[in-house]
Amino acid sequence: MTRAADSQQPPRPPRPTTLAHRSTVYAPHGMIATSQPLATAAGLAVLQRGGNAIDAAVTAAAVLNVVEPPMTGIGGDMFALVWSANDHKLYGLNASGRSGSLMTRDALLAKGHATMPGESVEDVTVPGALSGWDALLRRFGTITLAQALAPATGCAADGFPVTPIIAAEWSAEVAKLRKDEGARATYLVADGRAPRAGEWFRNPDLARTFRLIAEQGTGALYGGELGRRIAERVQALGGYLTSDDLRDHRPEWVEPVAADFQGHRVWELPPNGQGVAALEMLRILEPYDLKALGHNSAPYLHLLIEAKKLAFADIARYVGEPSEMTLPASALLSDRYVASRRALIDPRRAADRPAPGKPLTASETIYLTVADSDGNIVSFINSLYDAFGSGVVVPGTGFALQDRGAGFTLEPGLPNTVAPRKRPLHTIIPAFVTRPDETGGHEPWLSFGVMGGSMQPQGHVQLLLNLIVFGMDLQEAIDAARFRHLEGRRVALEAPIVDSVRHALQALGHDVVVERGVTFGGAQAIMRLPRGWAAGSDPRKDGMAAGH
């Protein structure tokens, strides 16, 4: 084409951009989305070598233990939803640990606590993540745990350059890390600070721990020498774990729970997680003409915020360790119950603290999702609860112990009241969506998650509405501005939400707080296409989606 002819062509419209100027990623064979590029690369390499989605997910999770240590690791818990292409079925895994045998309400009250302590050795519960990684590989994987740990072991031994968002989160926890001998030695560099963005960081202790597990299996932690050292250190610092608590830990395969929304079936894990809150929110919202209200308009946000308050009031009262719940999670999703909750929403006024119907907490987390060429898909989440969990690192182990016990309550008589050998209410929730297929069954459509404690159910609902109601592209749905309801009438809005909407919400009685310091989650998602995959990764994190 000549230059003259070229000049006669109509001008191209500007390229549509998202918040981070990212496009949705498309790939023909397999896909992975994680919150850190090195983890994405490690998982993608597994797929390219012929491994399946489960192999890649565990490999990436282990690398994240190294490169994203404030958020995740074998000192925490994990959950997963796995779509098996062979079985054409969704499976759920709960690999959360229980409180120690010595953790009693009386013991905590005797120490002067009026509420559960936070970020303390007293909050350390059995770390279940490693048992979950192993269970996934044994049931659905094609590689061994030792093979899955190998890239992370090399990364910990050789080192890596720290990414910007993680560097900032790391730096914010320096005072906490200085309080513990093991944390100080493991996570602070020579002059007692956190590593900076781009600075090389090594964790040789974690590399040794991974090599020990590769040689001895999960028994090294659950009943072996590593577990004994953890229990002894926790007790010496005033915590409640015993070696027997670690030895007796088992992950649990569970039946996912679901709710239908506008032709889609949304799946979450059952309690002890908070996934039922997302489903209850969707059920409350379904009859409304949300599209007519307008995306992120004041009436739209008001409705979502009020639905969130009702759902969270219910999980605070009714959800916890399943064996101690007085009603099943499905009862919170019944037509009659949902209608009774929906009737409490006043379109003209914000509620303060709604009571639970008749018949939560912060989190530092990673979420990742993987799909392979055979159609297997995994929705995977792993967390330490707070940044670096309890702040306790047993010297020489290289990983922080979670403080998930802070998720209990000291209020007596509830499913989530603290007690020995009990699982607390969990904030971390992987999600999955299916749609009807031609046979009358369901086929996979979306695997996704949104990190960030109580933000997670709110984030699940907002992302899904962006896709299903407003027809957004996958990356656009992830990037779109979010709200986060905090407590009472306090709500934070991301900066792209305009002042007129903020003023309108304030007129309805909401206390719109300055969003500085509030996190709005970090999403990863993979969508199944008629042929191939689409994926998105949240610009609020350092991560990326990649495929082959």
**Active site (annotated) includes residue 125:** no
Task: Determine how many CB atoms are found less than 10 A away from the CB of residue 17.
Answer: 11
C-alpha 390/C-alpha 406 separation (Å) is 9
Closest to 541 in 3D by CA, of 17, 28, 86, 70? 70
Q: Between β-strands 25-27 and 252-254, what pairing exists: parallel, antiparallel or unpaired?
A: unpaired
Task: Determine how many CB atoms are found less than 10 A away from the CB of residue 484.
Answer: 24
Closest to 58 in 3D by CA, of 133, 155, 128, 127? 133
DSSP calls for 243-294: HHHHHT---EEE--EEEEETTEEEEEPPTTBSHHHHHHHHHHHTTS-HHHH-
Distance of CA 394 to the CA centre of its chain: 25
CA distances from 489 to 52, 55, 115, 310, 346 (A): 45, 44, 22, 12, 14
CA distances from 6 to 13, 14, 15, 468 (A): 16, 17, 19, 40
Burial class (CB in 10 A: 0-12, 13-18, 19+), 340: middle
Angle of CA points 198, 199, 205, to nearest 5°: 130
C-alpha 289/C-alpha 359 separation (Å) is 28
Distance of CA 49 to the CA centre of its chain: 27
CA distances from 73 to 167, 193, 252, 381, 408 (A): 17, 21, 19, 11, 21
Calculate the dihedral angle through the C-alpha atoms of 130, 132, 134, 135, rounding to the nearest 10 degrees: 160
C-alpha 446/C-alpha 44 separation (Å) is 19
Burial class (CB in 10 A: 0-12, 13-18, 19+), 395: middle
CB contact set of 331 (below 8 Å; sequence gap of 6+) = 337, 359
Q: Which helix (H) or strand (E) holds 176?
A: helix 174-178
Contact between residue 39 and residue 542 where contact means Cβ atoms under 8 Å apart: no
Residue 138: strand, helix, or coil: helix
C-alpha 284/C-alpha 186 separation (Å) is 47
Among 365, 369, 397, 427, the one annotated catalytic: 365
Active site residues: 365
